[in-house]
Structure 1
Amino acid sequence: MNIKKIITIVSVVLISILLIYGIVVLRQIFSPNTKFTEREVYVYVPTDSRYTDVKNIVAPYIDNMDHFDMVADKRGYTTNVIPGRFLITKDMNSYELVKAMRLNSAVKLAFNNQERIEDLAGRIGSQIEPDSTLLLNTIKDSIFMNENGFNEDNILAMFIPNTYEVYWNTTAIKFRDKMIKEYRNFWTEERVAKAEKQGFTPIEVTTLASIVHKESVKKDERPRIAGVYLNRLRAGMPLQADPTVIYALKKKSNDFEQIIKRVFYNDLLTKHPYNTYMNVGLPPGPIAMPDITALEAVLNPEKNDFIYFCASIDRFGYHEFAVTLEEHNKNAKKYSDWINSKGVKR
């Protein structure tokens, strides 16, 4: 056999080996490499994680870690880990998996109806990387609150209920700064002017709106209720809002888990800054996080002559309104008789 033929045979063998190796490598890179049954899953990589940490995090979802390692090394991911929230889908190959681990997915934060800043911090802390304690301390930072006109009683007013997009690994400071920016965006010159027309600051609007929000779940009724409270304030009357009594009872006992469905006469005598039966004017801060319809109700109240209202027994969720105390007492008795018939004790 001549040398030329030997070289040809050797070349063919080498090319075949390279082709086989290439096919094997391609299969390792582009074959499905997941082992979960769901259509998609999110994985969370904490800040300051290393590649070894990532491997532990994704291990439950990856079928062949050697294949993932090989692609991660070739793509430079092993030395450039990115923290965040990442979406991986069923049957992704190793190349797609590594690529996915570089695409930080935003979290849609939603919050409303929180009664305290502590509750809000807990809810947010369950959705992003900073925990509730860090969030709470960052939000209640005295320098930050002083610079922005808040205090511990009214800091909840800074948060406008909505759905916001943030990265899971956003810092507590960045989250706080985003919220104060959203607050300023909400309080446009037009809204501030409407607040001033009512004699309020934005924080005071939020405080009254929180009471309106708690008084009625019916959004179409809230402007009327806001009008009643404004009538009382202008007349120098106490607001006499039952939700503030409930809040005072919860705050005094430091038990916000309790459910209070009924307010009794002795409750109205509770000595507390938030009890608007015992104190004239607005309470020190919001008793909950009002939604935008409640805020708009205070900014755009119904003009009426009503001074009193109580829950209706004919239209569930709505109220009966009255101009005179005599008329109100009749409505109140109807409601009292009805609720007694239902056996509601507290």
Structure 2
Amino acid sequence: MNPKPEPNKPRLSFCIPTYNFGQFLPQTLDSIISQDNGHIEIVIVDGNSTDNTDQIIHEYQQRFPRLTFFKRDKRCGVDRDILKSVELAQSDYCWLFSADDVLSPGAIDLIFQNLTGQWNIAILNFMLCDYNLNPITSHDILNSADKHKTYNWSDPAELNDYLSRSLTSTALFSFISSIIVNRNDWLAADPCTEFHDSCWIIQAKAYAIAKNNLTLWYYPDPVFLKRGENDSFLYLGIAGRVELALDKFPAIAQHFWGKNSPIHRAAKRVTRNEISFSSLLVFKEKASQHNESLTKLYNVIRRSWIRYKRDHLSFLIIRLFPISLIYQLRDLCKKNASLFRMVKSIQTKLDL
């Protein structure tokens, strides 16, 4: 899993898909380039952005020659852009990274210290932040006190231990910036062509790797900042975004492992953890802002969210809760940064 490095060949590629994220890219690139150790590269695939992404990238290429930029002539979707970025990479490992997140100091040194060849996928923790990258709270991925640990998915006991500890969908490869993959294993696995427009190509490819051999390294301390309130999938609409999580995310696990398999059950559970009562109140308010039909959102909730008897009462409260009050509470939090962090931290813990 860890081939002998060739002279002048990078060992770690930051593979970044982007679309109209020019306002965020400088912070992202600065956080990477400032930690350059001479053995990294950056690969950016642009889905035909209409903002100033081109100009920004060309300026950074003058400072950092190991930056490959590929711009499409039409928008093809994030899945295909991720696949293209790994294809263009030259290194042994690819850190799949979002164009609006920011590396924490020392993150690259940490990863290089752990490029041991003993794992082919890493899942890394992060700090949840607001839109301006003000830290709120650490994310929860696994219920584990271990500093860091590897899990061999070919061992049923280790796999079951991992699944039982999983708290959020990040544990099952949902979040791009948390994932480092062995490039050769990624390329050798099934191409997963049926999932190239699913928004879940990383999860599909990780499961394809697992069908061959997956040893996963988990690191629990935050190594980057995740920008909040900047959901790239909201173009699907609010109901579509909720459906993407509750229905389509577990469907990938069902495809690879079967209905009611341990991995499929875990996928359903962790997405239900994340799409919580408080989250659905926020989605209701956002739907009203975008003049979307609440009927579609309610249908998704009714079909895919309700699991327990108490959920019926929660659903009734969601339907009756005044949108104006949700808006006032969110507006108050946005105007008071300390209050926002406190509420967000409490919500995060309660949702789990």
What TM-score does the superposition give when structure 2 sets the normalisation length? 0.27
Choose between structure 1 and 2: higher strand proportion. 2
Question: Computing the radius of gyration over CA atoms, which structure comes out larger, 1 or 2?
Answer: 1
